[in-house]
Amino acid sequence: MSRKKITVTRETDSGLNTHFNVPGQGEITRGRLADQIERGQHDGYHVRRVHGRRIIASNPDESEGNNLG
Q: 8 pLDDT exceeds 90?
A: yes
The answer to whether residues 30 and 17 touch, using CB atoms and an 8 Å cutoff, is yes
Q: 2 pLDDT exceeds 50?
A: no
pLDDT number for residue 1: 37
The 3 state secondary structure assigned to 12-49 is CCCCCEEEEEECCCEEEEHHHHHHHHHCCCCCCEEEEE
pLDDT number for residue 13: 97
pLDDT number for residue 66: 58
What's the rounded mean pLDDT across residues 28-48? 96
Q: Is 51 helix (H, G, I), strand (E, B) or coil?
A: coil
* Cβ contacts of 18 within 8 Å, gap of 6 or more: 10, 11, 12, 29, 30
Report if pTM > 0.85: no
